Amino acid sequence: MQPRPTPPPALLEELAGAYQYRARQRNIALTAEAAPDLPLVNVDPQRMEQVLGNLLSNALRYTPDGGQIALAARRVVGGVELSVRDNGAGMPPEVASHVFERFYQGDESRQGQAGESGLGLAIAKSIAELHGGTIAAHSDGVGKGSVFAVTVPVV
């Protein structure tokens, strides 16, 4: 890893730009919003984009055509939170507590789908932790969307 002081809005802008085409193909509104006065975070931009890209890819996979995905950055106790919120499939609360485990795919209907190994979120968690950060998932239930948030320390 090569961490360096990085502005959180730049991470979100890079990510939104990279995924905008895929979102538009499915008429998904992809937005990015960051508070203008956020402090710099000490991250390896490529590794953090890998983490956020994994979260965004999952959001695109489970959000219906015409849905919404919002990227956000905000100051929280202990650092800056970078989040991906969608109005997609959601998940039961008991699934949210396991999604970062290796090979965990939630439910049988998701197992074996093309391109899914069940490792992406486990890798994202490892990278977040290497940055001294945390990662969490939340959903109010099936059909109610999800929020995945990475919190990283400031410089």
pTM: 0.89
Neighbours of 7 (CB within 10 A): 16
Q: Which residue has the tokens 């990283």?
A: 152
Is the predicted pLDDT of residue 104 greater than 70, yes or no? Answer: no
Question: Which CATH architecture group holds 4-152?
Answer: 2-Layer Sandwich (3.30)
Contacts 24+ apart (CB under 8 A), 120-125: 120/54, 120/57, 120/58, 121/54, 121/58, 123/50, 123/54, 124/50, 124/51, 124/54, 124/55, 124/100, 124/150, 125/100
The string of pLDDT tens digits covering residues 49-93 is 999 999 999 999 999 999 999 999 999 998 999 999 999 999 998
CA distance 143 to 74: 26
CA distance 105 to 49: 22
pLDDT for 114 equals 46
b/e per residue 47-77 (b: at least 16 CB within 10 A): bbbebbbbbbebbbebbeeebbbbbbbeeee
Q: What is the largest CA-CA distance in the chain?
A: 44
Is the predicted pLDDT of residue 139 greater than 50, yes or no? Answer: yes
Confidence of residue 98 (pLDDT cuts 50, 70, 90): confident
Q: Where are the domains of the chain?
A: 4-152
